[in-house]
Structure 1
Amino acid sequence: MGHLPAASRHPINRPVFFIPLAILSAALLLSLWRGEAFVAAETVLNDWILRQLGPVFAGAGVAFLALLGAVALSPLGRTVIGGPGAKPLLGRWRWFAVMLCTTIATGILFWGAAEPLFHLNAPPPMLGLEPGSDAAATFAMSTMFLHWTLTPYGIYTVAALAFALVYYNRGEPFSLSSLFVPLIGKRAHGPVGTGIDIICLYALVAGMAASMGAGILAISGGIETLGGFAGGMPLRWAIGALIVASFLISAATGLQKGIAGLSVLNTWLFFAIIAFALLAGPTAHMLGLSLSAGGEYVSTFVPRNLGIGLDPDWSRQWTIFYWGNWFAWAPVTALFLGRLAIGYSVREFILMNLVLPSLFGALWMTAIAGSAILLDQQSGASLYAVISARGPDSVLFRLFDALGGGPAVTGLILFTIFLSYVAGADANVSAMSALSTRGITPDAPEAPLAVQSVWGVAVGLVAVVLVAASGIDGIRMMSVLGGAPALFVIIGAALSLAAMTVRGRPSAAPALPD
């Protein structure tokens, strides 16, 4: 039988493609037409979500880590994703690089230097810490460990592992509804499953737009700092257009060349930035701060995750916001991360998607957050003054100036931010496009480039409008709005993973012997 043409093999899944796109277009038009009213409504909804769902966000994150520990120790941990004869798509190093760049995008760059300064200079009043003190510094660093290591990666890993097992080992369709098959069987497919795909696709657009908005702000802040001028919105539009064009070019080259190649380069650049910060900064003090903060992180792990012993408003503004943001990305990102997992065991998957990126996050925060905290303490809160005067956009560049980086290092960081978002967006647009296309299989995993182009441009437009209309506050709220519906999908994925763990395997596929 001859090969079908691409359009016939991959027709658009019309409800999943057009409904989120229509909702997105309506939201964009409304924000342009009635910007202040739109932001006010967004604020009310955001506050309601954080208040009502905050305990669920927090409790789920802790429960997922316990579940992954049980999975790793259970017979399911020996199961090879795709079966014992399955061949991996990527080697371990390229797999790690793609996973890292798909999940952190620009967030770790934008917030790694800016966020700890808030915690250092405005710690939760309930703790009674003096702003700028050593105790506040320890709290700031332990909070960075909380927000950027085990808990968020646990959210991704649960969803991605559940999808990998149902997609490769059970042969279910490339759809988020497949996550529910271990719970309710084939009834998961149909109108309810289509509704899940629609909601999660919209949630990821919200999360991606928020991340891209942060990236645009960071890159424009760096260019303005380096060039000594104010580029304003024209500069931000140009950056957004360049990012979209770049990841669409990368998408056209496929996983092995485009996404994997960009991710490997980006990961090496991350390690170069870490090395520079460790060598140029107060290394001994940074390591000492990291050790003391690590002890606090371990001793307060459960209560801080749950927001116990902290001001509720502070916990909602920071910790619950982060969990909402990670949940917004998790469903559709899980499709891509699960696709990468073929040929590896469940335990290897947990190591690669939970343990190693958490260690990387701790190393990054030791170098970047540690430098920012200590330099801010030594300079009388000069970096925090930059945030107060100009916002968090340019703090990372001011930090590396203070470390003696100069224009060359600023240029390197600018390129890394740009590449980081391109690599992450490439992977997620690939998953979004596949989700809104029929006929995706392990042998034909890519959606048509035209579908990827539509989603890429849509994300770019939402990001730039967010930046123009409401800046960083609007970006943060957009993330949470996407996370609310995604929360229940990931809880369903966790229940499916728990069911497979109890059974010992996802299907009739054999496990590896001990």
Structure 2
Amino acid sequence: MRDKHIGFVFYVSFIIVIALVLAGVFMPETLQAWSSTALSWVQRSFSWFYMLVTTFFVVMALFLGFGPYRKMRLGKPDEEPEYSFYTWIGLIFAGGMGVGLVFYGTAEPILHYINPPPGTEAETAEAARTSLQYSAFHWALQPWAIYATVGLAIAFIKFREGYPVLLSQAFRPLIGDRVDGLAGKVINIVAVITTAIGVATTFGLSALQVSGGISEVFPVPNSTATQLIIIAVISVLFMISALSGVNKGIRYLSMINLAVAGLLLLAVLVLGPTAFLFESFTTAIGSYLGNYLELSLTLAPYSDENWFGEWTIFFWAWGISWAPYVGTFIARVSRGRTIQEFIIGVLAVPSLLGILWFTVFGGTAMDMQMNGVADIAGPSQENQELALFLMLQNLPGGLILSVMALLLIIIFFITSADSASYVLSTLTSSGAITPGKTVRLAWGLLIAATAAALLLSGGLQALRSIAIIAALPFSIIIVVMAFSLLKGLRRDKQ
């Protein structure tokens, strides 16, 4: 592996990731016990911090998008955007939401309906409203504000200042050339490890959903062997895409992805309880925006329930752990956009699409549950990956819709893994905007091998918990990055 860009960050992070994976393979129970204890402690002790810091990122993003720097272009003053608006949104949608949108789109609202937050009675009209309100909250402004903050900081330092696409470089306005020293390397290593573990565990969990979907649609057993075959096939496909580069592989797949997602969404909207879904969508937006401050700052300190820890804090930590990957990828595809365009495209558009998706899929499932058409909630408590397919099979043309959903998951699977391997390669290749094929293949193989090994050993959840635990210190890094960005913008405008 003789690439002039590969150095200290690559080797150290690669070795640490392998060490953590080996621990997950050979000591899954020990690692699970330790990570579960640590995760519970983080959720209990720092829930307040996660609520405050994610709200800060939303305020920060809105200030950047509508404040004095909104007209500043990420590039030369007369530079045109690298991608059309539709292509750009498709890339952001595929890279940022990924399989999570499909995995949780049906499962989360129906699970909130039968197990709502403290103070709401289960399986009532109020529980239905609350379920969509919290689904919107978990997938709209907060996570995208995290990605927007990181993405804008990197895009600014790359396209305005001309420095490499590295998280460490985003601190240059604050600490100057010291970003090229040990401090910068540590930041990049933490970002790489968090991204690699998060992507690998999501890769494994996605294989579970594809396998579950296939077993629901076709006479194929939902077994470990099936899951390993899925990982092998997807790995070959995403590595072919990875070798094609961003302008071919990820770009074309993202366009297909957006089209398939749109068709599936439209089909469920038309074939499902259409009027009910439109009313639910309107209510979800009103409920979300009307209670936004309360949602953003409410926990349950007077209750023994850990609902917020299991859902809200989990999602905030997971979003922060994915920020290096999603933020770097968004920065890479946003050249030529003004800061206002960037914030609208990264914050507003995905938030609306996310709320619409959860309303249509989750609302349809709840309608079936409330009217006794099908029991979606029962099986979903044990196997969340089945919720989508259980709902689709109870609609007209359920088989065709299920095949479309499988296709969508697979394409999301490929684009997420492809863009993640690109980001990991960039971060470990001195910020090269076109990293070498060898290093991309190395990270791609490690991600696939990690997912397969952890599926076999049962260590997936432990590694996922570690990625979420790592979000606590990384959230502080992002806050400092935000102030560094403000300093850079102020200096640039003078």
Aligning the two structures, in what range does the TM-score lie when normalised by the shorter sequence?
over 0.9
Q: Does 1:336 align with 2:329?
A: yes
Distance 1:113 1:472 in 2: 22
1:404, CA displacement in angstroms? 2.3
Provide the C-alpha distance between the structure 2 equivalents of 1:449 and 1:182, rounded to a whole number of angstroms. Answer: 32
Specify which of 433, 446, 455 is matched with residue 458 of structure 1: 446
Secondary structure of 2:122's partner? Answer: coil
Say which is worse superposed, 374-383 or 102-111, in terms of deviation.
Answer: 374-383
Q: How much has 1:380 moved relative to structure 2? A: 7.6
1:404-439 deviation digits (Å, cap 9, x = unpaired): 233222111111100012112211211110110137
Within the candidate set 451, 469, 474, 1:481 is matched to 469
1:473 CA drift (Å): 4.6
Range with bigger deviation, 470-479 or 410-419: 470-479
Count of residue correspondences: 492
Report what 1:432 is aligned to.
Answer: 424
Shift of 1:118: 1.5
- Structure 1 residue 270, shift from structure 2 partner: 0.8
- The partner residue of 2:146 within 145, 155, 159 is 155
Which of 311, 333, 345 is equivalent to 1:318?
A: 311
- Deviation (angstroms), 1:471: 7.6
Q: Deviations over 1:393-414 (max 9, x none)?
A: 2111111001123322211111
How far does residue 137 in structure 1 lie from its aligned partner after superposition?
A: 0.4
Q: Deviation string for 1:354-409 (max 9, x for gaps)?
A: 11111111111121111112212222871111124x51121111110011233222
Q: CA, structure 1 residues 11+56, in 2 after alignment: closer, same or farther (shift >3 Å)?
A: farther
Q: Equivalent of 2:62, from 69, 90, 96?
A: 69
Matched, 1:245 2:236: yes
Contact kept? 1:180, 1:493, Cα under 8 Å: yes
3-state SS of paired residue (1:83): coil
The equivalent of 1:39 in structure 2 is 32
**Structure 1 contact 220–231 (Cα < 8 Å) conserved:** yes
SS of the residue corresponding to residue 335 of structure 2 reads coil
Q: Does 1:270 align with 2:261?
A: yes
Aligned-pair identity in percent equals 27
Q: Which residue of 2 aligns with 1:196?
A: 187
Q: Can you list the C-alpha shifts for 1:66-107, whole angstroms capped at 9, x where unaligned? A: 112212222311111112133432111111101110001100
Residue identity opposite 2:262 in structure 1:
F
CA contact (8 A) 1:466 1:474 kept: no
Q: Which runs of 5+ in 2 are unaligned?
A: none
Q: Give the TM-score of the pair, scaled to structure 2.
A: 0.94
Distance 1:381 1:58 in 2: 36
**Pairwise CA RMSD:** 2.0
Secondary structure, aligned partner of 2:121: coil
Aligned pairs for 1:292-371 (under 5 A) are 292-308=283-299, 311=303, 313-371=306-364
Tell me by how many angstroms 1:12 deviates. Answer: 4.1
CA-CA distance at 1:476 after TM superposition: 5.0
Number of the residue aligned with 1:446: 434
Matched residue, 2:412: 420
2:388 corresponds, among 389, 392, 396, to 396
Query: Could you tell me which residue of structure 2 aligns to residue 373 of structure 1?
Result: 366
Which runs of no fewer than 5 residues in structure 1 stay unpaired? 1-6, 509-514
- CA distance change for structure 1 residues 199 and 472 in 2, over 3 Å: closer, same or farther? closer
2:95 aligned with 1:111 = no
Give secondary structure in 2 for the equivalent of 1:334: helix
> How far apart are the structure 2 equivalents of 1:296 and 1:305?
13
Q: TM-score, normalised by structure 1?
A: 0.91
Partner SS, residue 335 of structure 1? helix
Q: Structure 1 residues 410 and 472 mapped into 2: Cα distance closer, same or farther (>3 Å)? A: farther
- C-alpha distance 373-479 of structure 1, shift in aligned 2 (>3 A): farther
CA shift for structure 1 position 296: 2.2
Residues 12-91 of structure 1: matches in 2 within 5 Å?
12-91=5-84
Cα distance in 1 for partners of 2:451, 2:493 equals: 41
Summarize deviations over 1:244-284 as a string: whole Å, max 9, x none.
21111001111111111000000011111110110011111
Q: Report SS of the residue matched to 1:79.
A: coil
Please report how far the alpha carbon of residue 300 of structure 1 lies from its aligned counterpart in structure 2 after TM superposition: 2.3
Judged with a 3 Å threshold, the aligned counterparts in structure 2 of structure 1 residues 273 and 380 are, in CA distance, closer, same or farther, namely closer
* Partner Cα distance (1:479, 1:367) in 2: 30
Separation (CA, whole Å) in 2 of partners of 1:303 and 1:463 = 38
CA positional deviation for 1:465: 3.5
Q: Is the 8 A contact 1:206 1:479 kept in 2?
A: yes
